[in-house]
Amino acid sequence: MRFEHTTDQRDFAASLDALLSGADTVSAARAWAAADTAPGLALWGRLAEQGLTMLATEATPVEVVIAFEALGRHAVPGPWVESAAYLPLALGAEVEGVATVAVPPEVPYALDAHAADAVYAVVDGVLHTATPGARLGSVDLTRGLYEVTPDAPADAAGDLAAARRLAVLATSAQLLGAGERVLADTVGYVKQRRQFGREIGSYQAVKHALADVRIALDFARPLLDGAALEPTERDVAAAKIACSDAAYLASRTGLQLHGAIGYTQEFDLSVWITKIRALVGAWGTPARHRATLLDLLVAEGAA
């Protein structure tokens, strides 16, 4: 089967990329990490006007994947997976403003509760409103993780299982977008960085390392697209595994090939490297999804 985006989907992707390319998302991410949410919330408003918060209820998972790949490629801060993927399906309605949620055990803390208009938590399979508590640290400084105390059950008429699958799918798309950005930036860097009289990108070992990343990202994309067409538990788990592994390989390779500058927090590459590391574990670690996938495949084989 050959998968291609429709003309409308390609136009949507292009308009979203154009908006984010001119929005200085790195500055917004750095401000968000420093507890200045104003630039990030201003960007949130512009993206909401583009319809991103409506995609889960008004569009298909394919459009959700397109949007979240762009969010990952541009390192847009904020609880987008929670507000625009999970909660619309969990509540059965589009979320007004910014919202976040804790869904133990995969998501034990509410992301960016300090910037949210509404906070939720899932308790024993039921969505509750919640009160945020202490903030915990994250390897990604743009991700504020908050303990929550559940309150009363929320007025929700949604499907929590479908909401979780879409959240995993959206996280996978973010990972793929971030991995693509790291690869592109690293390729640009090795074409300029000279050592021993020649660009380091001309060395065979460097080419092989980058080719491995390209292959990993290319192999992850069909799994992500397939899960977007039919977001079953099996396909979503496979997409999360592949996108996590590919993006993490991109981040490690990018860090290595940038050398000492790649380790510095002031260098923009760090925004994507730390985000990838955090997203790998978000909404289920690769190990957890591998266990799920194994159980499903064994069950299918026994049926």
pLDDT of res. 193? 80
Q: What would the mean pLDDT of 192-199 be, rounded to a whole number?
A: 79
Measured CA to CA, the distance from residue 178 to residue 185 in angstroms comes to 11
Structure tokens at 97: 């403003």
pLDDT of res. 1? 58
Direct distance between the N- and C-terminal alpha carbons of the chain, in angstroms, rounded to an integer: 26
Measured CA to CA, the distance from residue 272 to residue 152 in angstroms comes to 37
Q: What would the mean pLDDT of 58-81 be, rounded to a whole number?
A: 97
- Segments of 45-125 assigned E as strands: 99-102, 110-111, 118-123
Measured CA to CA, the distance from residue 32 to residue 112 in angstroms comes to 10
Q: Where are the domains of the chain?
A: 160-302
Yes or no: domain 160-302 corresponds to CATH 1.20.140.10: yes
Kindly report the backbone phi and psi dihedral angles of residue 280, in degrees, each rounded to the nearest multiple of 5, phi listed first: -55, -40
> Residues of the chain with pLDDT > 70: what percent?
100
Mean pLDDT of the chain: 94
Q: What band does 302 get if pLDDT is binned at 50, 70 and 90?
A: confident
Enter the DSSP assignment of 82: I
pLDDT of res. 293? 93
Residue-wise pLDDT tens digits, 136-168: 989 999 999 999 999 999 988 899 999 999 999
Q: What would the mean pLDDT of 260-282 be, rounded to a whole number?
A: 92
Q: What band does 282 get if pLDDT is binned at 50, 70 and 90?
A: very high
The 10 Å Cβ neighbour count of residue 294 is: 11
Residue-wise pLDDT tens digits, 205-251: 999 999 999 999 999 999 999 999 999 999 999 999 999 999 999 99
Secondary structure of 79-132 in HEC code, one letter for each residue:
CHHHHHHHHHHHHCCCCCCCEEEEECCCECCEECHHHCCEEEEEECCEEEEEEE
Determine the number of helices (DSSP H) and then strands (DSSP E) in the chain.
12, 7
| Position 303 pLDDT exceeds 90 | no
Q: Position of tokens 């799994």?
A: 223
